[in-house]
Amino acid sequence: MECDRKDAKKLLEQQNAKIRERMSKIKHKIAILSGKGGVGKSTVTANLAVGLSLLNKKVGVLDGDIHGPNIPKILGANGEPMVAGDAILPIEVSGIKTISISYLLPDEATPVIWRGPRVSGAIRQFLADVAWGELDYLLIDTPPGTGDVQLTIMQSIPNIDGAIIVTTPDEISLLDVKKSISMCKMLNIPIIGIIENMSGFVCPYCNKEIDIFGKGAGEKIAKELGLRFLGRIPLDAKAREAQEKGKPMVLIDCRAGEAFKEIVNKIVEIVENK
């Protein structure tokens, strides 16, 4: 038993060393969080990545939502990662490097039925073994909530720049947002800001915005807690249709795309001038 513990400790130290080496080549590491599911966190992550690439930034996206990996679908990426030596080569789409458990599944309908320790192990393997190379930004799309995976990401990535928290504009979602905020504070992870997604619906007929889910709850909690409010992303039918075909909305001439571009500029200013 003592030998087993020593071997396990040695393997953990080796993996930690590999993670430090990989992450040392990445200038900025940002986790995208949400207190609950259904707020469009993966959509936000993918569009922020594309927005950063439009500014000529070298970008990578780690899809940390093992049970619901949607990043490849949103970015229009597919394929199977190649292995070179002891490294996994990420799938690249439109200049963005990506890794996701989705690439390793036989089809989109195959579920990942894993317990927490195995999920956390997969995340650490992505961090240690994926050859990201030199990047300006690595965005980590985390699953909703404040569990094992979020803790693994926050504690495994050295010098993480901080977290961006995604919410919807209704008051109920703020109950879960507060949990994500509290988790970051407990782990001493800086909060870059809050994004309010699904903030109003752009009518395709009259082009007016209708506040289906309300508006302003994200900005309200940001003010209450002394955090930055990064901006609002409206629902846009035109953008949704394009995104379902693998074209992120930031590439579309629409209000949602313009909102993302403004938010990306704010993030770059905050992160690179801190």
40 labelled ligand-binding: yes
121 labelled ligand-binding: no
Whole-angstrom distance, CA of residue 223 vs CA of residue 228: 8
42 labelled ligand-binding: yes
36 labelled ligand-binding: yes
38 labelled ligand-binding: yes
147 labelled ligand-binding: no
What tokens were used for 274? 């801190």
24 labelled ligand-binding: no
Q: Count CB atoms within 10 A of the CB of residue 121.
A: 13
10 labelled ligand-binding: no
Q: What 3 state SS string does the chain have? A: CHHHHHHHHHHHHHHHHHHHHHHCCEEEEEEEECCCCCCCHHHHHHHHHHHHHHCCCCEEEEECCCCCCCHHHHHCCCCCCEEECCEEECEEECCEEEECHHHHCCCCCCCCCCCHHHHHHHHHHHHHHECCCCEEEEEEECCCCCCHHHHHHHHHCCCCCEEEEEECCCHHHHHHHHHHHHHHHHCCCCEEEEEEEEEEEECCCCCCEECCCCCCHHHHHHHHHCCCEEEEEEEEHHHHHHHHCCCCHHHCCCHHHHHHHHHHHHHHHHHHCC
Q: Which positions make up the binding site?
A: 35-42
Q: Which positions make up the binding site for ATP?
A: 35-42
